[in-house]
Amino acid sequence: MSSFTFNRERKNYIHIERGWKKPVWAPLRRNFLSVPGYPGARLLNTQTEKRVLSIPVGIIVPDGICLETVTEEIADWLITEQPKELIFDVEPDRTYLAVIDEEFDLDEFVNIGKGTLQFICPMPYKLGKTNTHTFTQNWSTEITSNFTNKGSVEAPALLEIDVTKPSTFLDVWFGKYPLERNYFRIGYPLTVEETTVQERERVLWDDMSTTIGWTPVTSQVEEMRGTGELKVKDGTALYCPYYGPEGTEKFHGGIAKKSIPGGPIQDFEMETRVHLQSKNIDQMGRVEVLLLDESSNIVARINMNDLYWDAEI
């Protein structure tokens, strides 16, 4: 028995009734203009309407399964917020993007065992398989790929480009070669008076797999004091297993610093991942990243903290 797949899922107990035929194309609406004294009419344009697929289906409920359970399962499957892929067994190489009509009576369908599912395709065209085309370099500055869209409607190509050499711009040409080509450009070419500069150059990356390069700090840093130690955890982070002698007041624990290669720097961005988890509701703490100048004065600081003795984070 023939069936269908919707939203990448199919139900083996639902089948399409014999004799059903899909419409070959989406509904068309011709807009005409009648002119006095002119025979017939002038065709202004043609509009493609939404495609509606009314599918007569039958259901065979498996033994031992509650009808209410089947109803809920079908509802979870068919009701979606956005159009999803709809593929029929008799046409496996074509895909529709559809939503189910909200007027469908699901309870009646499950109880009687027959009904009509009405799918609405806001985008009326059915899609073929995705084709991949390779590019070849025939010129010093161009790589080309020649292919033809064999569908009935023009569809834009999705381009994936890996840039292997520095460049300030990229031109993409498309259309019939050589006189009917259009293009779009990303970036700008350089004039003879301009030079390139590196944008967003990474100057420091630390995967926290080792403490080598980090210098322990045992002195006072603002309101904090370095009294503990830092170790590597799971090869991906530094953590503080020992915060210092029992009874030490105020903020204290493991502190370490590391120099930025090529520093000092200006106009920078910093990204860091931190984790703070108290074990008990009365524990407090802070994990912090400080940026220092050449004289070890704080330039910027960012932290995650738990400063509540009566709440757990």
pLDDT tens figures, 73-130? 888 898 899 999 999 988 898 999 999 987 777 777 777 778 888 899 999 988 888 8
Q: Which residue would you say has higher pLDDT here, 84 or 23?
A: 84
pTM greater than 0.75 (yes/no)? no
Q: Is residue 175 part of a domain?
A: yes
Q: Is residue 193 part of a domain?
A: no
Please give the average per-residue pLDDT across 241-248, as a whole number. Answer: 82
Confidence of residue 311 (pLDDT cuts 50, 70, 90): low
In this structure, the answer to whether residues 227 and 286 fall within a common structural domain is yes
Q: Is residue 232 part of a domain?
A: yes
For residue 116, report the phi and psi dihedrals to the nearest 5 degrees: -125, 120
Q: Is the pLDDT of residue 34 over 90?
A: yes
How many separate domains does the chain show?
3
- pLDDT score, position 313: 58
Q: Is residue 77 part of a domain?
A: yes
Q: Is residue 127 part of a domain?
A: no
Report the C-alpha gap between 213 and 261 in whole angstroms.
Answer: 11
In this structure, the answer to whether residues 20 and 107 fall within a common structural domain is yes
Report the C-alpha gap between 291 and 272 in whole angstroms.
Answer: 12
Residue in this structure with the two tokens 């970036």, named with its chain if needed: 187
Alpha helix ranges (H) inside the chain:
67-78, 106-112
Q: Is residue 169 part of a domain?
A: yes
Report the C-alpha gap between 173 and 176 in whole angstroms.
Answer: 10
- CATH at residue 13: 2.40.30.200
Q: Is residue 206 part of a domain?
A: no
In this structure, the answer to whether residues 44 and 148 fall within a common structural domain is no
- pLDDT score, position 45: 92
Q: Give pLDDT tens digits for 54-74.
A: 888 888 877 777 777 888 888
Residue in this structure with the two tokens 């046409």, named with its chain if needed: 91
- pLDDT score, position 19: 79
Q: Are 276 and 283 in contact (CB under 8 A)?
A: no
In this structure, the answer to whether residues 14 and 53 fall within a common structural domain is yes
- Write out the residue range of the structural domain in which residue 78 sits: 4-121
Using CA atoms, how far residue 196 sits from 48, 52, 109, 227, 252, in Å, is 49, 55, 67, 47, 47
Q: Is residue 129 part of a domain?
A: no
Please give the average per-residue pLDDT across 244-249, as a whole number. Answer: 81
In this structure, the answer to whether residues 149 and 239 fall within a common structural domain is no
Q: Are 232 and 209 in contact (CB under 8 A)?
A: yes
- Of 187, 207, 227, at which residue does a domain stop? 187
In this structure, the answer to whether residues 97 and 169 fall within a common structural domain is no
Overall residue count recorded for the chain in this entry: 313
In this structure, the answer to whether residues 53 and 113 fall within a common structural domain is yes
In this structure, the answer to whether residues 10 and 98 fall within a common structural domain is yes
* Segment among 195-199, 238-242, 268-272, 296-300 with least mean pLDDT: 195-199
- pLDDT score, position 312: 61
The mean of the pLDDT values for the chain is: 84
- pLDDT score, position 95: 93
Q: Is the pLDDT of residue 48 over 70?
A: yes
In this structure, the answer to whether residues 228 and 254 fall within a common structural domain is yes
* Segment among 89-103, 134-148, 208-222, 281-295 with least mean pLDDT: 134-148
In this structure, the answer to whether residues 231 and 267 fall within a common structural domain is yes
Confidence of residue 140 (pLDDT cuts 50, 70, 90): low
In this structure, the answer to whether residues 221 and 262 fall within a common structural domain is yes
Tokens (6 digits) for 239: 């953590």
